[in-house]
Amino acid sequence: LRDSVLQTNGLTIIGREDHSRKNRKTLPELIKNSDNRTFSILLNHQPYYLDEAVREGIDFQFSGHTHRGQVFPASLITDKIFELSQGYIQKKNTHFYVSS
């Protein structure tokens, strides 16, 4: 899913275009016609803009990209670049998981 939304069986799946794309839609643009009563999963390759997902009422965001630097000391850099470079956090009602 690239800048598109799939709604099925009480679930909304939102796929974002890569952060580097100039024509990437905003999250509010993507979800403006979505049913906000359904459980929402945001697939966002890079774990940027976590607060935006919280603000827009996303239930769960899954991201990757960071590889957590793959080898030390690169992990020190990814930990500085991303609020969450690996693992799980919850911010208000939104859950985030970043694979490494």
Domains held by the chain: number: 1
Distance CA 10, CA 18 (A): 26
Which residues form the domain of 52? 4-98
Q: What is the pLDDT of residue 68?
A: 59
How confident is the prediction along the chain (100 residues), in pLDDT tens digits per residue?
Answer: 899 999 999 999 999 998 888 899 999 999 999 998 999 999 998 898 899 999 999 999 999 866 655 677 877 877 787 778 888 999 999 999 998 7
Q: What is the pLDDT of residue 76?
A: 81
CB 41 within 8 A of CB 14: yes
